[in-house]
Amino acid sequence: MKKELFNGVGRRKESTARVYLSDGSGTSTVNKKLNIDSHLKRESLVIHAMKPLEVLNLKDKYDLNINVSGGGLTGQAGAIQLGIARALLKVDAEFRPQLKSHGLLTRDAREVERKKYGQPGARKKFQFSKR
């Protein structure tokens, strides 16, 4: 008997996460080797990434297989969060109001502003010298 897979894609900053949900006991594998705690390193990022499952009280009901690439740990955590939320919608469309009320279905569109010429960064200016 083959397990039914539900997938969702999440993106944030330069990160992309492909999340595959299947019935199970709550294990999570990132990039086919690490569990999510050792991949994201900080407890706050793990809590952020797993928020959709926490909101719906499904933490121990689904196994997660996550492929994530690009960006840093914060962007990857945000991408994983959106991927999990989108995969849960495919499991049951009744989850939509709860996920939406917690703001978990909106892609965070903030990107890094480009550096401008004649400046050391995007907004910062070189020190002004009057004389």
Please tell me the predicted confidence (pLDDT) of residue 34: 85
CA distances from 110 to 9, 33, 45 (A): 17, 30, 18
Please tell me the predicted confidence (pLDDT) of residue 26: 86
Please, what sign has the CA dihedral across residues 47, 19, 83, 100? negative
Please, what sign has the CA dihedral across residues 96, 18, 40, 62? positive
Q: What is the pLDDT along the chain (131 residues), one digit of tens a residue?
A: 567 889 999 999 999 999 999 998 889 999 998 899 999 999 999 999 999 999 999 988 999 999 999 999 999 999 999 999 999 999 999 999 999 999 999 999 999 999 999 999 999 999 999 98
In this structure, the dihedral spanned by the alpha carbons of residues 72, 74, 121 and 126, taken in order and rounded to 10 degrees, is: -120
* Residue 95 contacts residue 56 (beta carbons within 8 Å): yes
Distance CA(21)–CA(3), nearest Å, equals 10
pTM: 0.90
Close Cβ partners of 123 (under 8 Å, ≥ 6 residues apart) = 113
